[in-house]
Amino acid sequence: MEHYQALIIKNVHIYTENDVIKGGTLLIEDGKISRILTAEQLLPKYPSSFKVIDGQGQYAIPGFIDGHIHGANGRDVMDATEEAIDTIAKTLPTEGTTSFLATTITQSAENISHALRNVANYPNKQGYAEVLGVHLEGPFIEKSKKGAQPLEHIMAPNIEQFDKWQQQSGGKIKTITMAPEHDQDGSFISHVVNQGVNVSAGHTAATFLDMKRAVKHGVRQVTHICNAMSGIHHRDVGVVGAALLLKELRAELIADRIHVSDEMMQLIYDQMGSERLMLITDAMRAKCLPPGDYELGGQPVKVTNDRAVLHDDTLAGSILKMYNAAQNMLKLDRVTIRHIINMASVNPAKQLSVFDRKGSLTIGKDADILLVDDMLDISYTICRGVVAYERNGK
């Protein structure tokens, strides 16, 4: 892989935070965006060591941030090896993801510890998607809404256990998925929020009243909306209704057209708008691999051309690629590329408190950049100033 200290991307339509600069130029130095020039501004003289990319009229948009991904290309976060994280981080730029949360699954406390220590010691590498931290999915969840989470390892919210895991992770647990109905007094949620952790309601049978209470305690997110949670009923709108109605909440969405139907995605989008949705893949190790038999959390998973399921046909994560999620959303009514940027880049960055350096094309921020056409097909992915993927490249 070639590494460049300096990069020029010219002849691109640049989506900045508020505008689109037509025919603009991006200058990238030391992994950061150093200048953004309009078509009228003259490109300064630059050393021959700069690599020049002619964008040929494509769009430059921020790299995607996947806040919920378990694995890809045969590897899983729970493998607890540097090689597993390497494989995931090297694979994700091919689908436009430039940073992500390494996501665990409900497992034995010992296995979760191994995975957390592995992320704590993982060195982010040039030309790979950046590991922003950990999404601890489970084990503090509701058994009746376990989905593909192993039943035998589910436990009640436990501050002592969380603190131990956070210490083992080097403080890298950034999001936790838990069932808020099991923390009625909010002591666990408040404790975790006070550490700066993003608490997400998921794998939960919470009522709307439970969710209103949880929001008061600090819950600010819903995990993979519509899946493994109480749905909308005419006497109680549950967690799905809470996501739609409570403006404090953002919601993850697996936009593979399997976890949530097209019609429901449209309904959710119309109600929540692009400001409160975050696209995720929730992908497992079979992503990028052929159909066959795999595993998730120690459970056998059968993968077909479009989905991953347990023996009882329960969906077991996904094999979704992020740019396909974005393309599926773009097909909905009233969704534009600007809205996709909100859902796949801006909102995740804000939710994880990294918007000061990621999530938009702004001078001084990390040069996490995609070059795409109007259908969001990717020609280049740039991770912190390094070309990590080139469609027609090596």
Active site residues: 282
Instruction: Report the helix count and the strand count for the chain, using DSSP H and E.
Output: 10, 21
**DSSP secondary structure code for residue 205 in this structure:** -
Q: 102 - beta bridge partners?
A: 69, 134
Token duo for residue 283: 């992908």
Nearest-Å Rg of the Cα atoms of the chain is 20
Q: Using N-to-C axis directions, what is the helix angle for 82-91 and 109-120, rounded to 10°?
A: 70
Rounded Cα gap, residues 242 and 268, in angstroms? 12
Q: Using N-to-C axis directions, what is the helix angle for 109-120 and 159-168, rounded to 10°?
A: 30
Q: 295 - beta bridge partners?
A: 300
Where helices occur in the chain by DSSP H, the ranges are 82-91, 109-120, 159-168, 187-193, 208-217, 238-245, 262-272, 322-330, 337-341, 347-351
Rounded Cα gap, residues 309 and 302, in angstroms? 5
Q: Residue 16 region, left (φ>0) first, then alpha (ψ -120 to 50), else beta?
A: beta
Q: Which residue matches tokens 């002619």?
A: 54
> Which residue type sits at 358?
K
- The closest of 273, 232, 230 to 253, measured between CA atoms, is 273
Rounded Cα gap, residues 315 and 323, in angstroms? 21
User: How many residues in the chain?
Assistant: 394
Token duo for residue 256: 């593979």
Check whether the bond before 291 is cis (ω within 30° of 0): no
